[in-house]
Amino acid sequence: MPSLMIVGTTSHAGKSLITSGICRILANRGHRVAPFKGQNMALNAYVTESGGEIGYAQAIQAWAAKTIPKVAMNPILLKPQGDMTSQVILNGQVVGQTTAAKYYQDYFHKGWEAITASIDSLAAEYDWLVCEGAGSPAEINLKHRDLTNMRVAKYLQAPTILVVDIERGGSFAHVVGTLQLLDPDEKALIKGIIINKFRGDKSLLDSGLVWLEEYTQVPVLGVIPWLNLDIPAEDSLDLLERSSRKSQVDLNIAVIRLPHIANFTDFDPLEAESTVSLKYVSLSQNLGRPDAVILPGSKTTCADLSELYNSPMAKQLIQYLSNGGTVLGICGGFQMLGQQIKDPDLNEGNNSMQYGLGLLPLNTTMGREKITRQRQVHSVFLPVEKKITGYEIHQGISQYTNQDFHFLFEDESLGIANHQLSVWGTYLHGIFENGNWRRQWLNHLRKKKGLDPLETDVPDYSQLRETLLEELANSIEPHLDHRFQSLISP
């Protein structure tokens, strides 16, 4: 089938963004397009309609391709959980946890079978496949067991584009070095180079591009400028580069940057609000006096709770609440707000029980089975006309110790708020994508500050995301030359 492979000279080169943009370009031309990443390592995950987990970046790419996210688009997802181990998700389902060495011993052949089966199933349904690699395709110590870069490109015989991040410097050396380290049959598949994240006057770069093409004999297909688009990020490295570009805001919201923060894509809809400033705060930083604090999801809830408990942040949170603050926990953050977390099978470490922050009346028990499912439920406390959509990804089951609180949803297990409305918690990822619910929650914060309420009859975040993906394609396509166009033309 027609296919294209996108690899990078380094991690964080912008492969995911370029892949999303190309998916939308092809979809806009009427093609049935599927994104694909054989193996992803990320803590931002999405739950498909079938209840399987994939990397959130592949969900974004599927939406960019105007199709529904499917497990086959990311058959292997590794979720780091500390101590050099990762949870292994194969074909959307948890199959174990492993170290790096054991992973390749136990899962290499199973993984490649899943990758090729997924490619073949997508080929039967779509007429274009746009594949993304991971990290660098030229890591000498890893190439023999690399499942997701040139092994995939060779399986498909896919024309391959090498993306380099010029923002960090050393881009010419990165390109030359990467090409030098590829095997001849791999290098033969590299049909072009894309220079990404360029700032400044392109004419000053032209002589370097001429040299690069002559030296490598690989065309430079385009120079993509630095794009200020709030496309959801793939990993926590992106949080280091985030800074508010808003000159004036009404609400300041702090997100606690837990050591294993997961699904921080939950907060993109808040960042998109013009009246809201979002700041990520580490456990060692001063919390200050934000209008709300969010405890996010975590891949290792018990370990991150222990880190939180033993940091200055725990006392700051309690003091913040006593001074009239508002705290909301999502998923693992919801569990941390409770009385205790039990882990009888020691799934998350060596402690069978840990005390929570004691801010909500619930106890959580970690089990072996993981709950992953999409949800559509009625909101009962902040009522909205249509159902709230979201998804669950959590290991534990929570039981309420009393009912001195408000239920948030018709499914009472999905979240509560105390009577003072100072502490909120929910298991629903994607809750803020629901425009009406998000605005009502923000209006609760605004009322506390004496601010006028915002309009609540607003589109869901999915509509803004669609606009951003269209803008992404329109922003990169003019910077890709005719040689790129020939790669994607029939």
CATH of the domain at 91: 3.40.50.300
Q: Verify that 280 and 227 share a domain, yes or no.
A: no
The tens place of each residue's pLDDT in the chain, 490 residues long, gives: 899 999 999 999 999 999 999 999 999 999 999 999 999 999 999 999 999 999 999 999 999 999 999 999 999 999 998 778 899 999 999 999 898 888 888 999 999 999 999 999 999 999 999 999 999 999 998 888 899 999 999 999 999 999 999 998 899 999 999 999 999 999 999 999 999 999 988 888 999 999 999 999 999 999 999 998 877 766 555 554 555 567 789 999 999 999 999 999 999 999 999 999 999 999 999 999 999 999 999 999 999 999 999 999 999 999 999 999 999 999 999 999 999 999 888 777 677 889 999 999 999 999 888 999 999 999 999 988 899 999 999 989 999 999 889 999 999 999 999 999 999 999 999 999 999 999 999 999 999 999 999 999 999 999 999 999 999 999 999 999 999 999 998 6
CA dist 285 and 256 (Å) reads 10
Residue 245 is predicted with a pLDDT of 62
> Token pair for residue 252?
């300041």
- Give the CA distances from residue 386 to residues 146, 435, 437, 445, in Å, rounded to whole numbers and listed in that order: 45, 11, 10, 23
Q: Verify that 320 and 374 share a domain, yes or no.
A: yes
Decide: helix, strand or coil at residue 348: coil
Number of domains in the chain: 2
**Residue 483 domain-assigned (yes or no):** no
Residue 239 is predicted with a pLDDT of 58
CA dist 101 and 186 (Å) reads 25
User: Angle, nearest 10°, between helix axes 206-216 and 171-181?
Assistant: 10
Q: Verify that 262 and 215 share a domain, yes or no.
A: no
Helices (H), 98-170: 100-125, 150-156
Q: Verify that 226 and 256 share a domain, yes or no.
A: no
Q: Which domain holds residue 151?
A: 3-231
**Residue 137 domain-assigned (yes or no):** yes
> Token pair for residue 152?
């995939």
Beta-carbon count within 10 A of 15 CB: 28
**Residue 482 domain-assigned (yes or no):** no
Distance of CA 101 to the CA centre of its chain: 25
End-of-domain residue from the set 198, 231, 264: 231
Q: Verify that 225 and 281 share a domain, yes or no.
A: no
List Cβ neighbours of 119 (8 Å cut-off, separation of 6 or more). 36, 129, 152, 155, 156
Q: Verify that 132 and 263 share a domain, yes or no.
A: no
Active site residue 429: yes
**Residue 263 domain-assigned (yes or no):** yes
* Neighbour-count burial of 400, counting CB atoms closer than 10 A to its CB (0-12 exposed, 13-18 middle, 19+ buried): middle
Contact 37, 73 (CB under 8 A): yes
Q: Verify that 154 and 292 share a domain, yes or no.
A: no
Residue 229 is predicted with a pLDDT of 85
CA dist 159 and 189 (Å) reads 5
Residue 233 is predicted with a pLDDT of 63
Active site residue 444: no
Q: Verify that 224 and 249 share a domain, yes or no.
A: no
Matching residue, tokens 């993109």: 268
CA dist 453 and 119 (Å) reads 49
Q: Verify that 180 and 251 share a domain, yes or no.
A: no
**Residue 20 domain-assigned (yes or no):** yes
Q: Verify that 342 and 318 share a domain, yes or no.
A: yes
Pairing assessment for the beta strands 93-99 and 85-90 based on DSSP bridges: antiparallel
End-of-domain residue from the set 202, 231, 260: 231
The CATH code of the domain that includes 403 is: 3.40.50.880
* Neighbour-count burial of 362, counting CB atoms closer than 10 A to its CB (0-12 exposed, 13-18 middle, 19+ buried): buried
Residue 477 is predicted with a pLDDT of 97
- Residue tagged active-site, from 429, 444, 479, 482: 429
Q: Verify that 120 and 260 share a domain, yes or no.
A: no
**Residue 206 domain-assigned (yes or no):** yes
- Give the CA distances from residue 177 to residues 152, 172, 195, 196, in Å, rounded to whole numbers and listed in that order: 21, 8, 15, 17
**Residue 111 domain-assigned (yes or no):** yes
Q: Verify that 358 and 224 share a domain, yes or no.
A: no
Decide: helix, strand or coil at residue 439: helix
Pairing assessment for the beta strands 160-165 and 190-198 based on DSSP bridges: parallel
**Residue 489 domain-assigned (yes or no):** no
- Residue tagged active-site, from 12, 174, 331, 394: 331
